[in-house]
Chain A
Amino acid sequence: MVGNTSQTIVVAGGSLAGHTVVAELDRHGFTGDVVWVRGPEGTAPYSRPALSKELIRGRVTDEAIRLPAPREYGLRLRIMDLAVCARLDPDADRVLVTPAAEAGRETGGEWIPFDALFVCTGMRARLPKGFAGLPGVHCLRTLADAGRIRERLAGRPRAVVVGAGLVGSEMAASLRSCGLPVELVDQGRLPMEPVFGAELGRFSLERHHAHGVTTRMPATVTGLSAAGPEGPVSLTFDDGQETTAGLVILGLGAVTACDWLDGGGLDLSDGLACDAALRTARPNVLAAGDVANWRNPVFGERMRVEHWSNASAQARHAVGSWLAGQEGREPPAFADVPYFWSDQYGLKYQMVGHARGHDEVRVEEAGGEGYPFVTYLKDGRIVAAAGVNAPRAVMRMKARIQSEGTTTQGVHA
Chain B
Amino acid sequence: MKLTVDRTLCDGNGVCMGIAPDVFDVDDDLVLHIADEIPGDPVVHAQIRQAVTSCPVLALTLEE
Residues on A with beta carbons closer than 8 Å to the beta carbon of B19? 309, 313
Interface residues of B in 1-25 (CB under 8 A from A): 11-15, 17-19, 21, 25
Stretch of A103-111, A280-288, A294-302, A385-393 contacting B (4+ beta carbons < 8 Å): A385-393
A153 sits at the interface (CB 8 A): no
Q: A313-B50, A368-B29 are in contact. Are A391 and B12 (CB under 8 A)?
A: yes
What are some 22 contacts across the A-B interface (CB < 8 A)? A49-B13, A50-B57, A65-B58, A68-B58, A308-B54, A309-B15, A309-B18, A309-B54, A313-B54, A339-B15, A341-B14, A341-B15, A348-B12, A348-B14, A348-B30, A369-B28, A391-B14, A391-B26, A392-B25, A392-B26, A392-B27, A395-B17
Asked if B21 and A399 sit within 8 Å, CB to CB, the answer is yes
Residues on A with beta carbons closer than 8 Å to the beta carbon of B13? 49, 341, 343, 348
Residues on B with beta carbons closer than 8 Å to the beta carbon of A54? 11, 57
CA distance A236 to B54 in the complex (A): 42
CA distance A303 to B17 in the complex (A): 23
| Shortest Cβ gap from A212 to chain B (Å) | 23
B14 nearest in chain A by CB position = A391
| Shortest Cβ gap from A86 to chain B (Å) | 30
Residues on B with beta carbons closer than 8 Å to the beta carbon of A64? 58
Looking at the complex, which one of B21, B29, B50, B58 makes contact with A395 (CB distance below 8 Å)?
B21
Looking at the complex, which one of B30, B50, B58 makes contact with A316 (CB distance below 8 Å)?
B50
> Which A residues form the contact surface with B (CB < 8 A)?
20, 23, 47, 49-50, 53-54, 60, 64-65, 67-68, 308-309, 312-313, 316, 339, 341, 343, 348, 350, 352, 367-369, 389-392, 394-395, 398-399
A389 nearest in chain B by CB position = B28
Asked if A368 and B28 sit within 8 Å, CB to CB, the answer is yes
**B21, B25, B30 pick with most chain A CB within 10 angstroms:** B30
Looking at the complex, which one of A20, A309, A339, A391 makes contact with B28 (CB distance below 8 Å)?
A391
Asked if A47 and B50 sit within 8 Å, CB to CB, the answer is no
CA distance A150 to B57 in the complex (A): 19
B29 nearest in chain A by CB position = A368
CA distance A392 to B27 in the complex (A): 6
CA distance A395 to B5 in the complex (A): 20
Residues on B with beta carbons closer than 8 Å to the beta carbon of A65? 57-58
Residues on A with beta carbons closer than 8 Å to the beta carbon of B21? 395, 398-399
Interface residues of B in 21-59 (CB under 8 A from A): 21, 25-30, 50, 53-54, 56-58
CA distance A48 to B15 in the complex (A): 14
Asked if A47 and B30 sit within 8 Å, CB to CB, the answer is no
For the complex of A and B, the 3 pairs showing the least CB-CB separation, nearest first, are A368-B28, A391-B26, A367-B28
A66 nearest in chain B by CB position = B58
Asked if A47 and B14 sit within 8 Å, CB to CB, the answer is no
| Shortest Cβ gap from B7 to chain A (Å) | 14
Asked if B53 and A352 sit within 8 Å, CB to CB, the answer is no
CA distance A405 to B54 in the complex (A): 24
Residues on B with beta carbons closer than 8 Å to the beta carbon of A23? 53
| Shortest Cβ gap from A403 to chain B (Å) | 12
Asked if B28 and A50 sit within 8 Å, CB to CB, the answer is no
